[in-house]
Amino acid sequence: MADSEPRCNCVPASGPLSAELMAGWREAMAMGRAQLERGARNAALFHFQRALAQAESLFGRWHNHDDATAALVVSHHGVADVLSRAGQLDDAARRLCHIHLLLQQVAGDGGLQPGLCAAAARHSRQTWAELAHFDSQHPGDARIRACLAAKPVESPNRSTTTLH
């Protein structure tokens, strides 16, 4: 994964294509988890990467922003988990930072849909916690430390309802 500025391709869309992608994402994640439980890291990574590609297609487009954001976060964390277990700590750290910084960007972008910004802000707390956990397991990574300095933000479009 190259070091690049995270970008959000957030174009609203839904319908059969998105529903098929979400179903495919769920299936790929289940297969990835099953392979990981069996100790088949390469197969697990394949399925988690497939899920990630589907989640990236859904992010900002699925009618339920919270579900799409959760799918993106879980997919990134699944890939990072496999990479970490394989000893590819630099790649795992890069993956964890990428998703955290992307959510920070989306949460702070007042030009995006308020529901998407709120979902990104809410889920950035989880990505920050995952960064902190990684740092406790593998201390000293400068990239992780820099990302931890970017604490979760509140969405500028925050609604008056509490979303959990």
Q: Is residue 101 part of a domain?
A: yes
What is the reported pLDDT for 6? 58
Q: Give Cα separations from 58 to 52, 75, 91, 159 (angstroms).
A: 10, 12, 23, 22
Task: Characterize 145-155 residue by residue with b for buried, 16 or more Cβ atoms within 10 angstroms of its Cβ, and e for exposed.
Answer: eebbebebbeb
Q: Is residue 113 part of a domain?
A: yes
Answer for the pair 23, 62: CB distance below 8 angstroms, yes or no: no
The contacts of residue 77 (CB under 8 Å, 6+ apart) are 96, 99, 127, 130
What is the reported pLDDT for 66? 93
The whole-angstrom distance between residue 41's C-alpha and the CA centroid of its chain comes to: 20
- Tokens 């998105």: give the residue: 18
Q: Quote the CA–CA distance of 55 and 23 in Å, as a whole number.
A: 11
Q: Which residue range is the domain that position 104 belongs to?
A: 16-149
Q: Is residue 136 part of a domain?
A: yes
Domain count, the chain: 1
* Global pTM value: 0.83
Q: Is residue 102 part of a domain?
A: yes
For the segment 66-77, the average pLDDT, to the nearest whole number, is 95
Q: Is residue 163 part of a domain?
A: no
Answer for the pair 148, 128: CB distance below 8 angstroms, yes or no: yes
Q: Is residue 118 part of a domain?
A: yes
The neighbour count for residue 64, using CB atoms within 10 Å, is: 15
Higher pLDDT: 83 or 8? It is: 83
What is the reported pLDDT for 20? 83
- Tokens 């479009």: give the residue: 157
How would residue 61 be classed by pLDDT, with cut points 50, 70 and 90? Answer: confident
Least confident residue range of 21-25, 52-56, 159-163: 159-163
**DSSP H helical ranges for the chain:** 16-37, 41-58, 65-85, 89-107, 114-137, 142-149
For the chain, give the mean pLDDT: 85
Q: Is residue 99 part of a domain?
A: yes
Q: Quote the CA–CA distance of 97 and 144 in Å, as a whole number.
A: 7
Indicate the SS3 state at residue 9: coil
Q: Is a pLDDT exceeding 80 seen at residue 15?
A: no
Domain containing residue 52: CATH number: 1.25.40.10
Q: Is residue 104 part of a domain?
A: yes
